[in-house]
Amino acid sequence: MSQRTTSPATDLEAMGLTGTDLDLGVRAAAARLAGTIETTPLVPFDSGDVRVELRLKLECEQVTGAFKARGALNQIALLDDAARAAGVVTCSSGNHGRALAWAAKRAGIKATIVMPADAYPNKIEAVRAEGAEVVLAEGRVAAEAVRAELAAAGAHYVPPYDALGTLEGQGTVALEVLEQWPECELLVSPVGGGGLLAGCALAFAGDAARGGPKRWVIGVEPAAAATMAAALDAGHPVQLDTTGSVIQGLTSPNAGELPRAIAQEHVTAMADLTDEEILAAQKRLVREAGLTVEPAGAAAVGFVLLAGIPAELLEGRDGENPLRVVAIVSGGNADPVQLASIREG
């Protein structure tokens, strides 16, 4: 396990994401999603360290099984008439695709989801079950190329993470955390392209800008797919070969530029775990908490359980005054065969 501390940047001002209302879009998204998106549970889990009080934000129990429903529904709500008529398209290994298919079906909009042929079969079928047209391609690069062709032909592209409407929808997770547990001091988020991380960081930063307490945000990604860390080091997205990781959902070939810029300013640190460490955390969540969760959904918890929290955040903490930590657990569309092997093993 390794960590990288982010460095400051100045390009958010040009994007209008500074000041006391930098989370205005997140709050507006929460209003749009109210009554449709589930307020997911926040439950205790033994961190193994008396200095850390850990709670799990169970986005694995969200509509469509992942936090992705938040961003997809927000994006659909923001579409103009021309985009609605054209239909929507995206590229996804599963959770964003299913979420967009679900949100589009609710709005009566055609959805085409391009997926890698090696995506979990249950995810492919789940997208089809939501009424979307599924186009399979051989690998993530080929799938992205097909998606680009469909968008060039007229379909409206809904990005899985590198769009303000998407990440502001994802940021409503953090708003719920603030309502459910105002004492929360640290939020740990899994990272693929960075939309969830960035949206949550905006929500926390906006609360702090209006006089709320300082809170920290840490992102966790597979060591073999550490695209956000690479982007932060370079100051821009970097294309990586992420095929060395089996943690589907966290293997985007690059972080988004907008999530990168937000993370550069508002994320405390990035960390990475080996695939084996993430899979071990998944086993604990399945066996000890009885959760239905994908490997990707266990990354944030794995970071906490492996004593990854920076020492400076734990200084002066003990059982009477623990660091209050929330780890986001998402998604819940686990491969049935893999899940059965964990439960029976």
Active site residue 93: yes
Catalytic residue chosen out of the listed positions 47, 57, 92, 93: 93
Cβ atoms within 10 Å, residue 292? 17
DSSP H/E element including 202: helix 195-209
Catalytic pick from 47, 57, 68, 189? Answer: 68
Residue 122 CA, distance from chain mean position: 20
Helix (H) or strand (E) holding 166: helix 164-170
What number of helices (H) and strands (E) belong to the chain?
15, 11
Sign of CA dihedral 159, 160, 161, 164: positive
- Cα–Cα distances in Å, from 25 out to 29, 63, 167, 247? 6, 21, 9, 30
Pairing of strands 2-5, 88-91: unpaired
> CA-CA distances (angstroms) from residue 252 to 59, 240, 257, 278, 312?
20, 9, 13, 17, 31
Q: In degrees rounded to 5, what are phi and psi of residue 114?
A: -95, 125
Just list the catalytic residues.
Answer: 68, 93
